[in-house]
Amino acid sequence: MHEVFENRAEAGRQLADQLSVYEGQLGALVLGLPRGGVPVAFEVATALGLPLDVFTARKLSVPGHQELAMGAVASGDVCVMNDKLVQAFGISGAAVDRLVTAAEIEVRASELHYRGDRPPVDVHGSTVLVVDDGIATGATMRAAVVALKSQGARKVVVASPVAATDSVVPIKRIADDVVVLYLPARFVAVGAWYHDFPQVEDADVRALLERAAERLPEQLRHAAHRHAHTV
């Protein structure tokens, strides 16, 4: 086993190369799953000249087994559960409800914290590229896809530098497209495939969103200009 990517920024640039069909496309946007997915998504959005925003999802862990995801909650109060896992561990409906409610509150608070006064991007009728730095269990990504579909996204494309093969299968059933650069035979963990994999702080997410917002008007003008010359 060896590292495939130098860091999240380099992985994002490689991912953007595989998503070049969306470059400058009107009605397309990039959403990063915080926190680690945002630096990757920033590079994708920058390279493709598209708007960037966050889309928050929270994993719901099996009580006493923090690494084991029994589901996830995403923006828009969307919840995805692994009912078989819930039943296997004998988790009560009341316990699930408590965890879901707490996660929904956390998701709403996190998005307000990341964006500040900026409103969320409207995904209705849009092509949405949902980006993370890696897909392990896939629970949060599945929740994000379901939430975006429920909010009227026209097309949802899941994009990640690395993913566990078993986790990609159920995502392909609900997403319009899935773009993954590396599918290792033995996944281990997301960070195992990066040489430099520091923790991404909330301040890092806010700074990247602010940088993306500052450059957006000029990029949208260029996209409109390109579109005018191709119709």
Q: What is the pLDDT of residues 140-169, one digit of tens each?
A: 899 899 889 988 999 999 999 999 999 999
- Top pLDDT among 66 and 133 is at 133
pLDDT at position 124 over 50: yes
Among 111, 114, 160, smallest CA distance to 138 is for: 160
Residue 145 and residue 175: Cα distance in Å, rounded?
A: 6
pLDDT at 195: 96
All structural domains of the chain with their residue ranges: 8-56+123-228
pLDDT at 224: 41
In tens, the pLDDT along 174-223 reads 999 999 999 999 998 999 999 999 999 999 999 999 999 887 655 554 44
pLDDT band at 121 (very low <50, low <70, confident <90, very high): confident
Mean pLDDT for 222-228 is 42
Q: Which residues pair with 31 in a beta bridge?
A: 53, 130
pLDDT at position 22 over 50: yes
pLDDT at 2: 62
In tens, the pLDDT along 44-102 reads 999 999 999 999 888 888 999 877 888 888 887 788 888 989 999 999 999 999 999 99
Read off the DSSP letter of residue 21: G
In the block, residue with structure tokens 């889309």: 55
pLDDT at position 31 over 60: yes
Residue 65 and residue 57: Cα distance in Å, rounded?
A: 19
Please enumerate, as own/partner, the contacts of 175-181 that have beta carbons within 8 Å and a separation of 24 or more: 175/130, 175/145, 179/15, 179/18, 179/19, 180/135, 181/4, 181/11, 181/14, 181/15, 181/18
pLDDT at 231: 38
pLDDT at 217: 59
CATH of domain 8-56+123-228: 3.40.50.2020
pLDDT band at 39 (very low <50, low <70, confident <90, very high): very high
pLDDT at 227: 38
pLDDT band at 228 (very low <50, low <70, confident <90, very high): very low
- Top pLDDT among 65 and 117 is at 65
Read off the DSSP letter of residue 82: -
Q: Is the dihedral of CA 169, 164, 78, 96 positive or negative?
A: positive
pLDDT at 94: 94
H or E segment at 59? strand 57-62
- Top pLDDT among 128 and 82 is at 128
